[in-house]
Amino acid sequence: MAVTRKQKPLDYVPYGLVVTKSWLLAQGLSRHTLDNWVKSGQLASVVYGVYKRPDTKLTWQGVVYSLQRMGSDLRPGGITALSYQGLGHYLQLGQHQTVHLYGQEHLPRWLNKLLPDVTFVRHNEAQLLGRHPHSGIDALKEFEATTLINIAVPFSDILTSSPERAWFEVLLDVPEKISFEHADQLMQGLVNLSPKRLNKLMALCQNVKVRRLFLWFAERHRHAWFGKLDIESYTWESGLLGSGKRVLAKGGKLEPKYLITVPETMQQEEFYGQE
């Protein structure tokens, strides 16, 4: 008769990660075994229905990877993805952090109870892709990147937005949550974006504000990839830029080419890429 190896918590809960009770049960673990692990101190309850190893120190990266490991489509995007990939400004070190997650799923109720110095904020993909984003979501999968996370789990990659996708996600929050000035500083560092990916994202994007802002910032900085963009497709006659003026910067100055108001000081400056 074959001998079955005794199950251990480490088989299900690697260091640095959390798991939910429902996920453990779905893996075939019995309630009796789970209760014994908790009673014996082999597993520690973080919040109700969520567990970790007793020696685990949780980080937001480990928590997000845990979500993805359990099947969630939520991933770091926007300003969080850019900062995580070394392309952001104002990194939040040693203070309260806000982690921006993008996907179709809602945040689990327990998520913002795990780390007292981290707040997770969820953004809906429909903001970028319109009311019926599902076909676009499949197309956007190529705009995801994997990055090794700094926890002791072999071959652990956390799924994030690619820099191109993250920049479009940043533009969604300009100027309501991200200032023009901050976005401008971010754009200064985005010198190696893929024009192929940018063209595809522009074609998929259904947000007129994001399209206009993208073109304005791209023309303002004129990185090497700017000359390879399909700018000619986005004319007023095409309808892809919508219609009418958009007041984005209150008290700002109207930018005549894309009909958006921008901070007056930025409108008066010369584009970085121009002599």
Q: What is the pLDDT of residue 93?
A: 52
Which of 134, 128, 131, 91 has its CA nearest to residue 214?
128
Residue 185 has pLDDT above 90, yes or no: yes
- 124 has a pLDDT exceeding 70: yes
pLDDT at site 2: 39
Query: What single-letter amino acid sits at 131?
Result: R
Question: Is pLDDT of 151 > 70?
Answer: no
pLDDT digits (tens, 9 = 90+) for 82-96: 998 888 765 455 578
pLDDT band with cut points at 50, 70 and 90 for residue 156 = low
Is 159 in contact with 73 (CB distance < 8 Å)?
A: no
Task: Output the CA–CA distances (angstroms, integers) from residue 268 to 44, 193, 220, 250, 264, in the order listed.
Answer: 58, 26, 11, 16, 6
Output the pLDDT for position 226: 96
Can you tell me the distance from the alpha carbon of 182 to that of 89, in angstroms, rounded to the nearest whole number? 8
Could you tell me the maximum CA-CA distance found in the chain, to the nearest angstrom? Answer: 82
Give residue 112's pLDDT: 98
Q: How much is the pLDDT for 86?
A: 86
* pTM to 2 decimal places: 0.87
Residue for token digits 């969520």? 50
CA 207 to CA 31: how far, in whole Å?
47
> Cα 242 to the chain's mean position, in Å?
26
Q: Which of 5-9, 144-148, 203-207, 263-267 has the lowest mean pLDDT?
A: 144-148
pLDDT of residue 11: 82
Q: Is residue 53 a contact partner of residue 13, using CB atoms and an 8 Å limit? A: yes
pLDDT in tens, 18-68: 999 999 999 999 999 999 999 999 999 999 999 999 988 999 999 999 999
Cα 166–Cα 178–Cα 264 angle in degrees, nearest 5: 120
Strands 260-262 and 253-255: antiparallel
- What phi-psi label fits residue 166: left (phi over 0), alpha (psi between -120 and 50 degrees) or beta? alpha
